Amino acid sequence: MAAVEGLRHGMAGNTGQIVCGRQFMNSLEDSSLEEVKRAIEEEPFLADYYEIGDKYVKSKDGRIWFTFVGLDRNLGSIKSKGRILLMWVDEAEPVTAEAWSVVEPTLREEGSDWNAELWVTWNPKRRNAAVEERYRGSSDPLVKIVECNWKDNPAFPARLERQRTRDLAERPHMYGHVWEGDYLEVAEGAYYSEALAHAKLEGRIGLVPADDLLTFQAFMDIGGTGARADAFTIWVCQFVGLEVRVLDYYEAQGQPFKTHHDWLLERGYHSKRTTIWLPHDGANQDKVNDTSYEAEFRRAGFTVQVVPNQGKGAAKQRVEAARKLFPSIRFNEATTEAGRAALGWYHEKRDEIRGIGLGPEHDWSSHGADSFGLMCVVYKPPQPLKPLPRPKIHRTFV
């Protein structure tokens, strides 16, 4: 389509360049050059218009030429480029916000019935990627979004179809991202990747209502105050018989107790209906505010339970408890998205040289995973009722 756009401009008498960019391009081998060449060669009407060399593509009339750039190193050179008719940025998921702020002002060419355009193509990976926030979430009427997938390809190869169906059967936790354009919600080798995939396939991630007759259980992993403090996380759930309904997730960093408390109240988790579950260090004094979370929540009127220290191997115990309980868990999709992202990323730290696991990686995902694991450790399935003893029957014979 970039070649077609160049042809259209050339036939209209316009002169300029088609710029093909990627975030990382150390040489032409990393660029879109070969894709452009192949596309032109496959269409006779394009092959008639363009001249193709080892390292260039240009029109035979000299009006249109292709330029290939990397956005990680050549931002300054892009500013000086003139007569850009079209800029196509491929594999745009890692392109930074800084790069977009430089790219857009370079597209200043316009005619009586046209203006320079920016085309962006990417495979979604992160919800907070700059390209997602700048374009996919844009309300600008001039921004047009097209979602195109394997289903839209009339020439989808049989070989890829075999691979797609095999991934669906054997790697369901990665299938959505690889084949359906979903965000990358699970890391390869993550503790809960397969469990989350099965929950999605089985319809256990969706609209999950609260039971008005039951109390809420709020499981927390505490963080301190200050910019470098660990995140404070909360999972809110209800234990409904053999089912765990996960209703909400909260995460904040460096915030005081009041911020967490206010969130609970705003969401309707009031002290009379909510039990607070804290890890063992919830009883410790905060270094900044000289109080404990246990004391503060009790002062706010909540029922508070502090889970004793599980000792050595506590993280592994939480993982195993969560894996065992996962088939009984349902997630309210709209309010637990960030928490499920943390669960999907929570993975083992590996020593690749020795080929051994070193326990859970302590990163952004571990705080949400720890409070989730605490919930799973605490949960106890309801015990079946014992049968009533048979009444003794006294018979009197006359």
202-215 confidence digits (pLDDT tens): 999 999 999 999 99
The stretch 352-380 carries a mean pLDDT of 84
Spatial separation of the C-alpha atoms in residues 317 and 311, rounded to whole Å: 10
Instruction: Write down the CATH number for the domain with range 2-146.
Output: 3.40.50.300
Spatial separation of the C-alpha atoms in residues 34 and 370, rounded to whole Å: 47
Domain positions in the chain are: 2-146, 156-184, 205-378
Contact 294, 306 (CB under 8 A): yes
Give the other-Cβ count within 10 Å of 318's Cβ: 22
pLDDT at 108: 85
Contact 32, 90 (CB under 8 A): yes
**With the CA atoms of 131, 137, 140 and 145 taken in that order, what torsion angle do they form, in degrees rounded to the nearest 10?**
70
Write out pLDDT tens, residues 40-74. 999 999 999 999 999 999 999 999 999 998 887 66
pLDDT at 201 over 80: yes
Give the other-Cβ count within 10 Å of 88's Cβ: 21
- Closest among 214, 367, 205 to 281, alpha carbons compared: 367
Spatial separation of the C-alpha atoms in residues 99 and 230, rounded to whole Å: 31
Spatial separation of the C-alpha atoms in residues 52 and 74, rounded to whole Å: 24
Write out pLDDT tens, residues 278-332. 998 887 766 545 678 999 999 999 999 999 987 777 888 999 999 999 999 999 9
Task: Please name every residue paired with 86 in a beta bridge, in sequence order, or none if there are none.
Answer: 18, 117
Tell me the percentage of the chain whose pLDDT exceeds 70: 88
pLDDT at 40: 95
pLDDT at 224: 64
CATH 3.30.420.280 fits 205-378, yes or no: yes
The two tokens of residue 75 are: 């931002």
- Burial-class residue 301 by CB neighbours within 10 Å (0-12, 13-18, 19+): exposed
Tell me the percentage of the chain whose pLDDT exceeds 90: 55
pLDDT at 188 over 90: no
Spatial separation of the C-alpha atoms in residues 340 and 344, rounded to whole Å: 6
**With the CA atoms of 266, 272, 273 and 279 taken in that order, what torsion angle do they form, in degrees rounded to the nearest 10?**
90
* Range from 17-26, 93-102, 153-162, 225-234 that averages highest in pLDDT: 153-162
For residue 298, report the phi and psi dihedrals to the nearest 5 degrees: -65, -40
pLDDT at 204: 96
* Range from 6-20, 163-177, 180-194, 374-388 that averages highest in pLDDT: 6-20
Q: What integer best gives the mean pLDDT of the chain?
A: 87
The two tokens of residue 15 are: 């002169």
The stretch 150-177 carries a mean pLDDT of 90
The stretch 151-169 carries a mean pLDDT of 93
pLDDT at 289: 59
